[in-house]
Structure 1
């Protein structure tokens, strides 16, 4: 009878080692693929959010300081000439501008905390879509407040006439969340030369705490520069090192390595304010 010879002990050990090596390589590829996929998803999500908020803010900020007495259908229940002067001279609202809400205004936060922007314009509705009881098609003095609460970037819309004490409030202000996973929001303001010498261009960029003194010298905000730091939803990105970012005038900060972060910045000329400054030379 013919004997059947099996594998030797050495052959079995070699086979096991080769199997372990191959299995380890496959696992490594799968892990690497999973990490790459997680990072790609995080990058895609942050970039999509960044494109959205940049586009939205650009569209809304372009209208800052707008007040058209010629072609717009303005609700005329108040003195619109006086209102136009207020909006055009105070496109970026500061603390103390509104008698009915003296604490409302653009602010520069300390130690890298989030800034706040408050602006005036003529519009059909505020940043939340609230018409504040005005008739369809009628424009009115809108005041929008942009700020960060927790990790949510929000906007609250007001009736500027109520804030100025010109009418009683009939519709309460509303707040909407424009974007979440926001780590920081910073602003700088492009200021013109004194009105009689200005061509409507920004000659310097300052923070909100400098605006009151410049306004007193008849210098006007004609541009906005903003920076917004976004982070991913995913908390297992596993970057090799913790990223460091600096937004505009703020000091650099080091963040965690478990999220993907990206800064989005833009400088925008306020066309309505440039035209206004040029018109009063």
Structure 2
């Protein structure tokens, strides 16, 4: 006696198709979410790398601002007016800038803006550009003036030798400066922060807050904050 072969009913087939579709859609969503998470992590890491590079460069210059050698500025003959204000700033409707007169330890700008030749005992002379060869017992200190400018969503850098502003980083949403001030010129302790202090000689540190945004919108804008002390002011 022959048995009749039994196949799938239409309801069973439709149910199997529906379950398969759910599984495929679920797997696809997991892959999509995984890719989106990876993309956002990569975007966040890219912003962190940009911030680390830019802020590290600015911090190094802030720490060495006003370092004109082994003698105080008052002992330096022919010192340019810029030596009296190693940290300066400006801010307008569309731009903000921070200008530093700092040690050119790595000879980053090629030819220095100034060179101080000193015997570190009581004699020092400032020269524009390079100085003559030091005599026995003398030391040369290379100095440069660097300006960081925030404008049109970019942070740029320029020097007197290279006045064309070079872009350090794009997609800058905000760039804020605060200056840590001492109560009096003889004091080292920071008592308050001010965005535009009246007396630059009281500046002991600089606080920077920079916000970077991801142009593709894969991650929220990230804000980074650092404080750098002026080593020459702290002894």
For the aligned pair, the TM-score class normalised by the smaller chain equals: 0.7 to 0.9
- Residues 77-92 of structure 1 correspond to what in structure 2 (within 5 A)? 80-83=76-79, 86-87=82-83, 89-92=84-87
2:158 is aligned to: 156
2:183 is aligned to: 193
Taking a change above 3 Å as real, the CA distance of residues 225 and 57 of structure 1, as seen in their structure-2 partners, is same
Distance in 2 between residues matched to 1:262 and 1:155, nearest whole Å = 22
Distance in 2 between residues matched to 1:32 and 1:236, nearest whole Å = 16
The alpha-carbon deviation at position 274 of structure 1 amounts to 2.9
Larger radius of gyration: 2
- The alignment status of 1:119 with 2:100, answered yes or no, reads yes
The alpha-carbon deviation at position 132 of structure 1 amounts to 5.8
Q: Larger % of strand: which?
A: 2
- Residues 38-77 of structure 1 correspond to what in structure 2 (within 5 A)? 38-68=39-69
Name the SS of the counterpart of 1:29 in structure 2.
helix
- The alignment status of 1:205 with 2:193, answered yes or no, reads yes
1:268 is aligned to: 228
Equivalenced residue count is 209
Distance in 2 between residues matched to 1:86 and 1:116, nearest whole Å = 16
Let me know the Cα RMSD of the aligned residues. 2.9
The alpha-carbon deviation at position 139 of structure 1 amounts to 4.5
Distance in 2 between residues matched to 1:146 and 1:92, nearest whole Å = 12
Q: Give the alignment's TM-score, normalised by structure 1.
A: 0.64
The alpha-carbon deviation at position 2 of structure 1 amounts to 5.6
Q: Give the alignment's TM-score, normalised by structure 2.
A: 0.75
Distance in 2 between residues matched to 1:120 and 1:17, nearest whole Å = 71
- The alignment status of 1:142 with 2:125, answered yes or no, reads no
2:165 is aligned to: 175
Q: Which runs of 5+ in 2 are unaligned?
A: 114-128, 134-139
Q: Which runs of 5+ in 1 are unaligned?
A: 71-78, 94-105, 159-170, 238-258, 276-281
Distance in 1 between residues matched to 2:30 and 2:210, nearest whole Å = 35
Say whether the 8 Å CA contact 2:62–2:102 is kept in structure 1: no
